[in-house]
Amino acid sequence: EPEVTQTPSHQVTQMGQEVILRCVPISNHLYFYWYRQILGQKVEFLVSFYNNEISEKSEIFDDQFSVERPDGSNFTLKIRSTKLEDSAMYFCASSDERGEYNEQFFGPGTRLTVL
Amino acid sequence: AQSVSQHNHHVILSEAASLELGCNYSYGGTVNLFWYVQYPGQHLQLLLKYFSGDPLVKGIKGFEAEFIKSKFSFNLRKPSVQWSDTAEYFCAVNPGSGGYNKLIFGAGTRLAVHP
């Protein structure tokens, strides 16, 4: 069964460093998302991406964040200068339907630890 | 603001007990509703979804949920839980049509089932 994959599973970085989290969505999917979950808190929407541009972003997704689909398979989330509060589990998701059939498939997550 | 409330943060049951997890959302328009499950060490998986039609939806592993529009609720039920149902359960809402729309998650309910 096709699935969303994410690398790395765990990333440790120093405050102020740039990190890139990678995702490979399901191959025929067109809509891509990033969510994050700070330990003990809700899963929060960060950004959605369709047709090579951002469709929607949350207040969390400030200028320090960017997303890219550099080729036909990868979808990346970049944090330019990490802060302690960026420590969280980051989930990538993808879906293939528009409108009312928006079932999103999630990857296993990348645990980001900022020291 | 759009929000999803899950009333029970931790639930402890014995095997064969019945389960009902509450979920309420605040959004007046058309919504798509989901329950996701996260087993220990695994990623978010879809349990069931409601888009339209019969408000009683059946999902995998014997779970079902009932959409009550007048109460803005989408409660998850299972008549007889098993130890393997131990997991965290998330209610999520997709507020409106559009394949790029975000999911708004509840805080999750951690279910522990004892043999």
pLDDT in tens, B61-115: 999 999 999 999 999 999 999 999 999 999 999 876 554 578 999 999 999 999 8
Distance CA A77, CA A90 (A): 9
What distance lies between CA B42 and its chain's CA centroid? Answer: 17
Contact check, Cβ <8 Å, A98/B45: no
pLDDT at A24 over 80: yes
* pLDDT tens digits, one per residue of B80-93: 999 999 999 999 99
Tell which A residues from 13 to 72 touch B, by Cβ distance under 8 Å. Answer: 30-31, 33, 35, 41-45, 48-50, 55-56, 58
Give the residue-averaged pLDDT of A9-21.
Answer: 97
Nearest to A98 among B46, B99, B102 (CB): B99
Distance CA A75, CA B65 (A): 33
Interchain CB contact of B47 with A (< 8 Å): no
Distance CA B41, CA B60 (A): 19
Tokens of B68: 């009550």
Residues of B in contact with A55 (CB under 8 A): 100
Could you tell me which residues are beta bridge partners of residue B110? B10, B88
**CA of B109: which chain A residue's CA is closest?**
A42
For residue B41, what are the CA distances in angstroms to B13, B21, B37? 21, 22, 12
Name the CA radius of gyration of chain A, rounded. 13
Distance CA B51, CA B111 (A): 26
- pLDDT given at position B96: 67
Contact check, Cβ <8 Å, A99/B45: no
Distance CA B86, CA B59 (A): 17
Distance CA B63, CA A89 (A): 27
Instruction: Give chain B's mean pLDDT.
Output: 91
CA distance B74 to chain A (A): 17
Distance CA B115, CA B10 (A): 17
Contact check, Cβ <8 Å, B45/A106: yes
**Where does residue A76 rank: exposed (0-12), middle (13-18), buried (19+ CB within 10 A)?**
middle
Distance CA A14, CA A91 (A): 21
Interchain CB contact of B49 with A (< 8 Å): yes
Contact check, Cβ <8 Å, B46/A55: no
Quick check: A16 and B70 in contact, CB under 8 A?
no
pLDDT at A99 over 50: no
